[in-house]
């Protein structure tokens, strides 16, 4: 799986999480960036456990 596809997946998942979760006192753009980073880290861990070697959260 291409890393750009994974990053697009993480971005879409982060949008959905961001729409469901509101962190008070944080700008929406910052929330989006935070959720994207967390989801990229999780996807990286999962794919590495499955045998794919990705370094996505740079």
- Whole-number pLDDT of residue 1: 63
In a domain, 58, yes or no: no
User: pLDDT per residue over 1-58, tens digit each?
Assistant: 677 888 899 999 999 999 999 899 999 999 999 999 999 999 989 988 998 877 766 6
In a domain, 16, yes or no: yes
Task: Determine if the pTM surpasses 0.95.
Answer: no
33-41: long-range contacts at Cβ-Cβ below 8 A with a sequence spacing of 24 or more? 36/10, 36/11, 38/14, 39/10, 39/13, 39/14, 40/6, 40/7, 40/10
- Whole-number pLDDT of residue 55: 72
- How many domains does the chain fold into? 1
In a domain, 23, yes or no: yes
């Amino acid at each position: 799986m291409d890393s750009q596809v994974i990053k697009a997946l993480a971005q879409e998942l982060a949008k959905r999480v961001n729409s469901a979760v509101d962190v008070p006192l944080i700008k929406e753009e910052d929330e989006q960036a935070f959720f994207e980073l967390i989801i990229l880290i999780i996807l990286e861990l999962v794919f590495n456990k499955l045998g794919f070697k990705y370094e996505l959260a740079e």
